[in-house]
Every structure is written in C-alpha cells, then in structure tokens.
Amino acid sequence: MSWLATLAGYVAPLFLVLSPVFSYSDQAISMYRNKSSAGFSLDIPLIMLVASMLRIFYYPGARFDIALLIQSFLMVAVQLVVLKIALDHRPPPTSKGGEAATPFAGAHEHGIFEKPRPYGFWQWRSPKPYWQFLLYLFIVLTLGELVLAPFRSLYPAYSSLIGYLGLSIEAMLPLPQIFANARSRSCKGFRVSVLASWLLGDSMKMFWFFTSPTEIPWAFKISGLFQAGCDSFLGIQYLMYGNGEAAVKGHFAPTWPGSQHRPMVKRTGSDLGPSTLRTPIISEKDS
C-alpha cells in the first residue's frame, strides 16, 4: 500500500490542479463556438468563484497542501473566462432555452429557493453587476485578512469560518443537477464521460486526502466526502433514468422589478439547449 500512497501523492495533486481546465474548458469552447450559453446555469461560476476565493483566503490560516491553493487560483481564472463567455452569449429570457441563464431556474416549483432573491441577485441582465459583486467580495476578503490577521486570538476562528464556508459552498455544486434529474426523471444533457471523470476524481481525492503526509484540513475531507456522495448519487440517477427525453413542462422567464407575470410556454424535448456541465435541464414556472 505504501507504493500506492506514494503514487497517489504525485498523481492526485496534479489531477486536482488541472481539474478546472479538464472540467470546464469543453463547456467554454462549446458556448463560444455556438454563440449561445443556453442550458448553462450562471450559478456554476458563482459557486466556484466564491468557493475558490474563500479557499484562497483560508490558506494563510490553515497552510494546507500547496496543490489545493494552486487549484483554487486556476479555478478562479477558468471560471472568470466561463462567466465572461456565458454572459456575452446569454440568450434573452423570452427565447428558447432563455431560462438557462437564470440560476437554479425551476427550483421554485418544488420549494427549493422558493423566495425571490434580494435585488435579483445573480439574475441581472446587465453584465456589470456580476463583475462588481466579485470585486466587492475580493475587497471585503482582503480587508478582513488585513484587519484580523494581527489578532491572534480572533484570526484562527475567522480563518476556519471562511474555510468551512467556502468548502461547504463548493460541496453544494451537484445539488441543482440532482434536483433537476429527479424532477424530469431524465439525465438528458448530462454526459456520462463527465460523470466518470468526477467519480474518478473523487476516488483519487479521497485516497489522497486520507493518506497524504502533507497537511489536509478536515474541512477538505468532510467537503470531499459529501461531494463524493452526491456524485455517486448522480451515478445512481443515471442508471435509473438513463439519457431519455426530459419531462419538460414549461419555459421560465424571470420576473424583474415592475414586470408582469408571463405565461408558461410549452416545450418539447427538441427545444432543449445543448448539454452542459452540472446544468439542470428543468421545467419552470414564473416565480
């Protein structure tokens, strides 16, 4: 087993560092070539950007393995590119697949995120607020680091807080896909090759987390176990539902301040947008 742990100690960190490129480059290229981000939820870059930024600021207090820090920086870079392409090629809300740009679109139907987001958070039509939010988050985290770092009695608790928060946010990433598959009783648009890469990555990550001689905080281990469980459940869903047509009922258009309710537009399976990474293809009703 010692040789296996040694091998994992070299392969797993390299895989983790490059995983942002492996996971999202195909999605970015597809949206750019098709000139459309239909079917891609903007909550994916939101979750990964916030989680990765929190992990970066967690490092000074935790001093975890450097490979995890490099992965966080690379993930931020990749997700900024993905967000830029998705915003540039986002379809209007009244077009086929237009609800794709609405985060967790359709989740309202089953009580998940039932209340509308304050100020239409991360559902803005203008690209500017997205970049402003990310800039403000970076400024707040930087100020928090500079102000609290000198206070040795407070800083460890603050560092642990943002670390667990960031990893918890990242662990939530599979949940929208799980809810979408369960509602539509289909995994159409969800690539089995992507699922296989996730499960392989989970296996390598878990083995490395629990055998690495370098410091891996328990926050990473708990988050990794939860995410591995979610990915495994996605595999079970794929076996149960297959890749058949989704049971799509309606087309969602977000309600902006001052707008009127809009009726649902019946859709068929042929109206669905292209397949995406961890992107729910789901039915919608107006919130």
**Tens-digit pLDDT profile for residues 237-258:** 888 887 666 554 433 334 444 4
Distance of CA 14 to the CA centre of its chain: 21
- Pair 96, 271: CB distance under 8 Å: yes
Q: Report which DSSP code applies to 107.
A: G
Q: Which two tokens stand for residue 262?
A: 């809009």
Q: With beta carbons less than 8 A apart as the criterion, state whether 43 and 103 touch.
A: yes
Q: What is the pLDDT of residue 80?
A: 96
Every domain of the chain and the residues it spans: 2-91+98-271
pTM score, whole prediction: 0.71
Distance of alpha carbon 52 from alpha carbon 71, whole angstroms: 8
Over 80: is that where the pLDDT of 65 sits? yes
Mean pLDDT of 166-176: 85
Give the residue with greater pLDDT, 191 vs 268: 191
Q: What is the pLDDT of residues 1-42, one digit of tens each?
A: 576 667 767 777 787 788 888 878 878 888 898 888 876 778
Q: Where are the strands (E) in the chain, listed by range?
A: none
